[in-house]
Amino acid sequence: MTSMLDAADATRARRRTAPPTWLVLTLACSGQFLVVLDVSVVNVALPSMRAGLGLSAQGLQWVVNAYTIAFAGFMLLGGRAGDLYGRKRMFLVGLGLFTLASLGGGLAQAEWQLLVARAVQGLGAAVLAPSTLTILTAAVPEGAARARAIGTWTAVGAGGGAAGGLVGGVLVDALSWRWVLLINVPVGAVVLAGAVYWLAESRDGDGRRLDLPGAVLVTAGLATLAYGISQTEASGWTAAATVVPLLAGLALIGAFLVVESRTAAPLMPLGLFRLRAVASANAGKFLSGAAMFCMWFFMTLYLQNVLGYTPLEAGLALVPSSLAVLVGSKLAPRLMPAVGARNVAVLGTVVAAVGFGWQSTLSVEGPYLTSIMMPGILMMLGAGLAATPLAALAMSGARPGEAGLVSGLVNTSRTMGGSLGLAVMSTIAAARSAGSGAAGTPEALTEGYALVFRTSAVVLLAGAVLMLVWLPRRASAS
């Protein structure tokens, strides 16, 4: 298979010149769009999935987390595989796996089948996502042009997450919940064909093996931790059903760190965290992901379970937020040269925190303008402003041979924070709703959702302080 791909690359190289940068950018961003879209597109479909497959309450959470945990746990492996074996090759492998898993999920007839398909989708996304950024940075020289390209990549990725609600709403209302997964099949096939023909191969292979034990340990650790956190809803924090998986998850992550410190070819070289730009930007990504990732999940549940919106109406209600994250992502690279990457990241995080604080004032009869649209715009404008400078700062600390690794680390930090954050926030919401004395009513659900948004606002403010103190002011050439 490898020799056939190499021969095909050589043949195409002889008969055509290098593709224009905009085409490489389009293909890379298309892959990133699909990966991020699938994190959020299922949110609007969750009530329909629950009715169609008889999902449990925890099953709803795991429809999202099965994807994000596999995504986060194997993304470092995917980034390293791109460095060693070729970014184009990993782009194709990841996209192919993602597309096939989407087909399986769309055809699922039982809860376990859907969750397995979502986990395999996450694995495909973990291989695909790091290659999208490294293919882009290899095609665009460092400087203002690369900052704009990363801004576009961030905007498209953020737009994928933001557009998930609208796309999911349209598909569920017009067809069925299955199409939020099946739609990836034709789109993935088109991008796959374009990538086979147009993308050029690049690698920084040094003959080292992949650290598969590290990837398995960190993925198992994250999954076990998230499961333990989710058990607190039914069993409490001191029950064996909660304590055992929490301790096991921490032990697995501890074993991962030991393996990384001793192996000759670590999945995550711990020495990277001695670089201020890499360590601080990833810490910022983790906290931002923990606070912001749950926004779409809880907003769509609030709109449908409390306000009575249809899936399509819920998707349309979040369109202004979708546009705001795009505006923020495109505005950030224009502000960075003038005020510095660190200050833009802090500004975006504070704006998002204000939006989350405003959103926490929601009620059972909240007017659209002040309970959904305006706070949603602030939350996602801030998210878009913060994402680009954090990614640029992290990548500025990477050597060329570690670009894929650091790219994977950037995405891993955000997604790891998001998956654990969703587990924590779901537990907070459920505990508050159950403690209101009228669990399951719109009033009780609203109290739980409001507490989640207040908690996220506090986390974001803490993240802004950390970024102000720790981040370097500007992204510098490595």
Domain boundaries, given as residue ranges, for the chain = 2-201+267-470, 212-266
pLDDT classification of 169: cutoffs 50, 70, 90: confident
> Residue 459's pLDDT is what?
96
> Residue 45's pLDDT is what?
86
pLDDT classification of 13: cutoffs 50, 70, 90: very low
Main-chain dihedrals φ then ψ at residue 103, nearest 5 degrees: -65, -45
Higher pLDDT, 464 or 70: 464
Mean per-residue pLDDT, 219-230: 83
pLDDT classification of 360: cutoffs 50, 70, 90: very high
Locate 233 and state its tokens: 């809803």
> Residue 1's pLDDT is what?
46
**The pLDDT of residue 423 is above 90:** no
**The pLDDT of residue 104 is above 90:** yes
Higher pLDDT, 168 or 360: 360
> Residue 15's pLDDT is what?
43
> Residue 412's pLDDT is what?
77
Q: Which residues contact 327 (CB under 8 A, 6 or more apart)?
A: 381, 384
Residue 87 CA to residue 311 CA, distance in Å, equals 37
pLDDT classification of 456: cutoffs 50, 70, 90: very high
pLDDT classification of 103: cutoffs 50, 70, 90: very high
Virtual CA dihedral for 22, 153, 331, 315, nearest 10 degrees?
Answer: 110
Residue 18 Cα distances to 7, 14, 128, angstroms = 17, 10, 22
Q: Which residues contact 154 (CB under 8 A, 6 or more apart)?
A: 329, 332, 384, 387, 388, 391
Domain 2-201+267-470 has CATH 3.40.50.620: no
Residue 117 CA to residue 125 CA, distance in Å, equals 12
Per-residue pLDDT tens over the stretch 293-325: 888 889 988 998 899 998 889 888 988 988 888
Residue 160 Cα distances to 32, 126, 190, 336, 456, angstroms = 8, 16, 17, 23, 21
Alpha helices in 340-402 (DSSP H): 341-359, 368, 374-396
Give the chain's mean pLDDT.
83
Greatest mean pLDDT range, 59-68, 312-321, 368-377: 368-377
Tokens 């398995």 locate to: 216
Residue 175 CA to residue 394 CA, distance in Å, equals 41
- The pTM assigned to this predicted structure is 0.80
